[in-house]
Amino acid sequence: MGFHLVDKKTRVNSGRNRPQFFVLVCVLALVLVFMGLILRVFHQGPLIGVGEEMVYGVYVGGNRAGTMTFWVEGTESFDGVACYVGRYSMMVGDTVQAGRMVFDKQGRLRHAKIALVENRSLKWSTEIGYSRAVGVMRIIFEDNRNPENYSVTDNAVLMPGETVLPAYLWYRLRMENLGLGYQLEFYINVLPQATTLVPARVAVRGEERVDTPIGRFDCWVIKGENTTSGFWITKDRRLVVKAVEEAEGVSWLYVLEKHRLD
């Protein structure tokens, strides 16, 4: 049987160091928590939720012309990959353009179907399957703009790189870690046939505070080359609160009027 001997001086110093050690541990823990919060802000994943709905007022020349609505319908498996299902509908007068887009959680568009209706009559519809494994799109185009020359075409088109529809950018940019220096290069399917591809690039051009009917938001300003669109996306939820577009000499403005989360 033996004894472990500790001199009095050592015992006294050890007791004094315990509170300091405890304080140091607490400080380190707080630092780690703070760093975790920073990482969540700047490196968070997609902030898209099933059941989410965004309603925009559509303005032409300063006058309200219609309504644009985006909503996340749900999720589904596409080629064995978990995907979101996003929809949109734009109503201006007697014209409605609507679409369904399936995209994975990395932001890659997998499938889309877009249609245009005027005076309750289908004018055209375009269905696109993006086969990224082989770099080919299958495009089925139904043309009813002139009922006497109704036609359906089925084409396979090579994909030179990431290819998207204009309306899909409203979802795609929300899935990015935006900030000064960010840019994205891609190709745009030109509707309605969608077989023509136009190279484009968008980049964060600055910051701006934007007032909308549902509040004031600090936003990243995103504009591009070979695309006439501009987006103002909030820094917190990466929500599109304002967008502009030039089409055939007409300036379109979209302003968020309602945002709902289930």
Give yes or no: residues 145 and 255 share one domain: yes
> Is pLDDT at 195 greater than 80 in this prediction?
yes
Give yes or no: residues 25 and 80 share one domain: no
Listed range (43-52, 126-135, 229-238) with the worst mean pLDDT: 43-52
What is the mean pLDDT of the segment spanning 58-82? 95
C-beta separation of 178 from 238 below 8 A: yes
pLDDT of residue 262: 76
Q: Which amino acid, 120?
A: R
pLDDT of residue 17: 55
Give yes or no: residues 185 and 240 share one domain: yes
Is residue 48 in a domain?
A: no
Is residue 70 in a domain?
A: yes
Residues in Cβ contact with 144 at an 8 Å cutoff, skipping those fewer than 6 apart = 121, 122, 123, 124, 150
Give yes or no: residues 64 and 168 share one domain: yes
pLDDT of residue 225: 72
Is residue 98 in a domain?
A: yes
- Give me the domain span that covers residue 27: 1-43
Please, what is the average pLDDT of the chain?
85
What is the mean pLDDT of the segment spanning 244-252? 86
> Is pLDDT at 90 greater than 90 in this prediction?
yes
> Would you mind telling me the total number of residues written for the chain in this entry?
262
Q: How confident is the model at residue 82 (pLDDT cuts 50, 70, 90)?
A: very high
What is the mean pLDDT of the segment spanning 101-107? 94
> Is pLDDT at 80 greater than 50 in this prediction?
yes
Give yes or no: residues 154 and 224 share one domain: yes
Give yes or no: residues 101 and 194 share one domain: yes
Structure token digits, residue 80: 């064995």
Give yes or no: residues 87 and 196 share one domain: yes
> Is pLDDT at 24 greater than 80 in this prediction?
no
Among 30, 33, 47, 13, which Cα is nearest to 178's? 47
pLDDT of residue 103: 97
Is residue 18 in a domain?
A: yes
Give yes or no: residues 68 and 144 share one domain: yes
Give yes or no: residues 18 and 104 share one domain: no
Give yes or no: residues 84 and 17 share one domain: no
pLDDT of residue 44: 43
Looking at the structure of the chain, the number of domains it has is 2
Give yes or no: residues 115 and 152 share one domain: yes
Give yes or no: residues 178 and 256 share one domain: yes
pLDDT of residue 52: 95
Is residue 224 in a domain?
A: yes
Beta-bridge partners for 49: none
